[in-house]
């Protein structure tokens, strides 16, 4: 889903009045409002990480724990993005490349955690999954709406947008898993969603690594 939802644009193209101006390849001030949006996203994601860790452990849900790890990774991503704003494009691209690796590692972690849950036969508690899933979806949709105007920026901005968009898709999947667990009394809907979230992370990782690699090659 990640690859099909993202689009590549040359930075020199005119994206119209709906988009904010992008930082120059040599560094400089960020687009208007971008720092404030990243700061809000950092706080929201850090808070939701804590909520989903507690809820995931209490409910025995792999998909909630996977989403919690994702929230933590995104909070770290936003913090790094804030740290490199104004740096030259090669440095921003290198950071985006590292974030792409982190997204891939998250996908592999989820696959391992789902395998462990399958072996243990744990059935999650669907009510907690549903309530926390709705809260997480609202948080991610709010952040995604704030970041939408910056989605066609450099690799670092693109990685931030992809992370947030994938989170909202993951939240919908968690809600579907909660409904599936409630209806069947079995753990497999939770495990299937965990696998889907892993696939999203791996696909987004590939996209960010490709985009950042292209920028680094162009800057040589």
pTM exceeds cut of 0.85: no
Which pLDDT tens digit goes with each residue over 5-58? 333 333 333 333 334 334 444 445 556 677 888 889 899 999 999 999 899 888
pLDDT tens for each residue of 93-152: 777 787 778 778 877 887 887 888 788 888 899 999 999 999 999 998 888 888 777 766
**137 alpha-carbon distance from chain centroid:** 12
Mean pLDDT over 143-172 rounds to: 73
For the domain with range 29-218, which CATH number is right: 1.10.3470, 1.25.10, 1.10.1660, 1.20.1510? Answer: 1.20.1510
pLDDT digits (tens, 9 = 90+) for 171-182: 888 999 999 999
Instruction: Answer for the pair 133, 81: CB distance below 8 angstroms, yes or no.
Output: no
Report whether 94 contacts 178 (CB < 8 A). no
| Helix 34-59 / helix 126-147 crossing angle, nearest 10 deg | 170
Domain coordinates in residue numbering, the chain: 29-218
Q: Are 163 and 81 in contact (CB under 8 A)?
A: no
């Amino acid at each position: 889903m990640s690859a099909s939802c993202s689009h590549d644009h040359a930075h020199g193209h005119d994206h119209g009045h709906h988009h904010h101006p992008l930082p120059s390849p040599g560094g400089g001030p960020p687009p208007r409002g971008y720092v404030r949006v990243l700061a809000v996203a950092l706080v929201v994601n850090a808070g939701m990480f804590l909520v989903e860790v507690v809820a995931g452990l209490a409910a025995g849900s792999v998909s909630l724990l996977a989403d919690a790890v994702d929230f933590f990774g995104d909070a770290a991503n936003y913090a790094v993005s804030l740290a490199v704003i104004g740096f030259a494009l090669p440095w921003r691209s290198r950071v985006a490349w590292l974030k792409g690796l982190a997204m891939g590692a998250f996908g592999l972690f989820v696959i391992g955690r789902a395998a462990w849950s399958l072996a243990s036969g744990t059935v999650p508690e669907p009510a907690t999954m549903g309530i926390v899933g709705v809260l997480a979806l609202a948080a991610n949709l709010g952040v995604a709406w704030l970041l939408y105007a910056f989605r066609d920026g450099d690799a670092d901005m693109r990685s931030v947008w992809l992370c947030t968009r994938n989170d909202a898709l993951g939240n919908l999947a968690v809600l579907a898993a909660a409904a599936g667990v409630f209806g069947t009394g079995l753990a497999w809907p939770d495990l299937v969603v965990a696998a889907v979230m892993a696939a999203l992370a791996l696909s987004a990782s590939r996209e960010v690594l490709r985009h950042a690699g292209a920028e680094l090659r162009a800057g040589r």
